[in-house]
Amino acid sequence: MCGIILTQLDLCKLVIKLLPQNIQFTFLSVSMTADMVKTAKDLSHDPSRFLTIEENSAQITPIHVRQFYVAVKKEEMKVDRLSDLLQAVTFSQAIIFCDKRHQVDRLRSQLQSRNLTASAMVSSSF
């Protein structure tokens, strides 16, 4: 019997190579190795932005990352609950995913109107 052992880096490379060229993907990690950062850059079809934490990176660990899920009954309540959460929790960065370009634009505008710093990155294929 023959076994194959793949590292996380090998698995990422394999998955990305199997994806169609027009697929958008994002690498998110608080513990990404230098090899993984290089691989992410090499495998990206047209990278628009890379944010890496160089300074004090040894102090950033997965325990510093928190995820939240807040259920709301109505769509209109989402921004209010998100705003409450962002004001209640101490954070340096937050990533919020939306599935439609108009939602991204609306969310950014509404957060900025509440004096919260917000920027957006969208794909042209939205």
Q: Tens digits of per-residue pLDDT, 54-105?
A: 544 555 555 666 778 778 888 788 888 888 888 888 777 777 877 788 888 8
pTM of structure: 0.52
Q: Where are the alpha helices (DSSP H) in the chain?
A: 8-18, 34-43, 78-88, 101-113
The CA distance from 22 to 125, in Å, is 9
The CA distance from 87 to 125, in Å, is 32
Question: Quick one: pLDDT at residue 92?
Answer: 73
Percent of the chain topping pLDDT 70: 74
Q: Tell me which residue has tokens 């990404």.
A: 32
Q: What is the dihedral of CA 120, 51, 37, 11, to 10 degrees?
A: -30
